[in-house]
């Protein structure tokens, strides 16, 4: 996703449409439209390792401990989110989402932080993973997705915002 932002910054594209989270580091380089969609964050847990977690304690609290090591995609908004949402846990960078999934599958990692879109894509492509990996949707952790616009194109950004206001439901999570 950072590659999409980089293309907009370099002027290779006037807009970047993808599952782009609005982050401070990205907003210092591009402008963002109003959100067009809202997703929830999710945790992919190794079922065997997760069986040792206390079922009476919420997942967020169980994972937010000094003794827990979680993974998130290196340099992504997911990594930034994981550090904020699980401040007591150790967050290790995964080079790719697929690498993180493999470490969770092989019990080398307890959990991988993702979005509900990541989870859907992974399980759709590899349904056999649901035997070894459990997914937990973090209802209180949402992310609003926006379109990146080259800062040299403020009229385009304004036009896209007007279009989105006219054509989107009032609540972006309803899309």
Q: Report the share of the chain in percent with pLDDT over 90.
A: 77
Taking alpha carbons only, the member of 117, 123, 97, 126 closest to residue 109 is 97
Query: d(Cα 125, Cα 3) in Å, to the nearest integer?
Result: 23
For residue range 127-146, list pLDDT tens digits in order.
999 999 999 999 889 999 99
DSSP 33-84: -S--EEEEEEEEEEHHHHTTS-TTS-HHHHHSSTT-EEEEETTSHHHHHHHH
Q: Considering only 107-121, 146-160, 161-175, which range has the smallest mean pLDDT?
A: 161-175
Q: In this model, does residue 170 exceed pLDDT 80?
A: no
Query: Position of tokens 């194109």?
Result: 153
Predicted TM-score (pTM) of this structure: 0.82
Query: Closest Cα to residue 29, out of 64, 5, 52?
Result: 5
* Residue 173 pLDDT class (50, 70, 90 cuts): low
């Amino acid at each position: 996703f950072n590659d999409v932002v980089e293309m907009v910054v370099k002027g290779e594209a006037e807009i970047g449409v993808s599952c782009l989270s609005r982050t401070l580091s990205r907003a210092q380089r591009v402008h963002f439209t109003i959100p067009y969609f809202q997703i929830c964050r999710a945790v992919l847990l190794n079922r065997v390792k997760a069986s040792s977690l206390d079922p009476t304690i919420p997942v967020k609290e169980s994972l937010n401990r000094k003794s827990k090591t979680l993974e998130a995609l290196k340099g992504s908004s997911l990594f930034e989110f994981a550090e904020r949402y699980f401040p007591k846990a150790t967050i290790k960078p995964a080079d790719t989402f697929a690498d993180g999934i493999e470490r969770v599958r092989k019990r080398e990692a307890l959990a991988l932080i993702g979005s509900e879109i990541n989870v859907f894509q992974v399980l759709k492509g590899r349904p056999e993973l649901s035997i070894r990996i459990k997914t937990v949707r973090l209802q209180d952790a949402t992310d609003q997705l926006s379109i990146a616009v080259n800062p040299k194109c403020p009229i385009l950004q304004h036009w896209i915002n007007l279009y989105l206001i006219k054509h989107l439901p009032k609540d972006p999570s309803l899309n």
